[in-house]
Amino acid sequence: MKKPKNEPQGRTKLSRRRFFGSVASGAAEAAVLTLPVAMAAPPTAGQAADGEMVPVILNINGQTHSLSVEPRWTLQFVLRDRLGLTGTKSGCDRGECGACTVLIDGKARYSCLTLALEAVGTQITTVEGLLHGEELGPVQQAFVEEAAFQCGYCTSGQVVAVEALLRKTPQPTIEQIREGVSGNLCRCAAYNHIFRAAQRAAELRKAGR
């Protein structure tokens, strides 16, 4: 069969149907590539990837919480997304920034590197658990008095780290304070204020406040 005279040799004729089919396929691929990052979050209990849910009881801030978790879920995820304790911040998710710091049996731990299952049978304390009723705890109050924050995103982790330090060393030296918060990064570089807040918190705790 001869090609039409007005059609260049070697070029495949694209029908209207094939053209719109190609456009639709390309749009679908682009939509998949631009899905929100939030879609990558761990699934809900009813959508567990492997179908395995484990019942656990977690003691958090003096209260017991019964829930089901996937073995892969971190304590950070469970605290924030399952229990609504959003004072524990999600930062680097790889144990580098300290924004997710909580107390486990009185010691500072990165909740992003701690599986929820690992925390079963322990006493977990988040920044919310440092409140005295509706009043700020001494470390929280000291951070306010010394303006030990700027953007505030790292503050809850810093507060918990200082709390852990003072439980172990009630009257720390400046060197001990530096070491105590060395695992918590502040992008705003409010470190001098944080150090002063730790000293002030030690004074408030000593005074019984």
Domain formed by 131-209, architecture: Orthogonal Bundle (1.10)
| Amino acid occupying residue 161 | A
| CA-closest candidate to residue 57, choices 115, 119, 4 | 119
**Predicted local confidence at residue 39, as pLDDT:** 36
**Predicted local confidence at residue 176, as pLDDT:** 98
**Predicted local confidence at residue 209, as pLDDT:** 72
Q: Point out the residues of the chain with pLDDT beneath 50.
A: 2, 4, 7-8, 10-12, 16, 19-20, 23-40, 42-48
**Predicted local confidence at residue 21, as pLDDT:** 52
**Predicted local confidence at residue 13, as pLDDT:** 52
CATH 1.10.150.120 in the chain, residue ranges = 131-209
| Amino acid occupying residue 172 | P
Which phi-psi region, left, alpha or beta, contains residue 118 (left: φ > 0; alpha: ψ -120 to 50)? alpha
How many C-alpha atoms does 77 have within 13 Å on its Cβ side?
A: 21
Asked if residues 79 and 109 have their Cβ atoms less than 8 Å apart, the reply is no
Domain formed by 52-129, architecture: Roll (3.10)
CATH 3.10.20.30 in the chain, residue ranges = 52-129
In sequence order, the 6+-apart residues with CB closer than 8 A to the CB of 1 are none
| CA-closest candidate to residue 149, choices 187, 192, 190 | 190
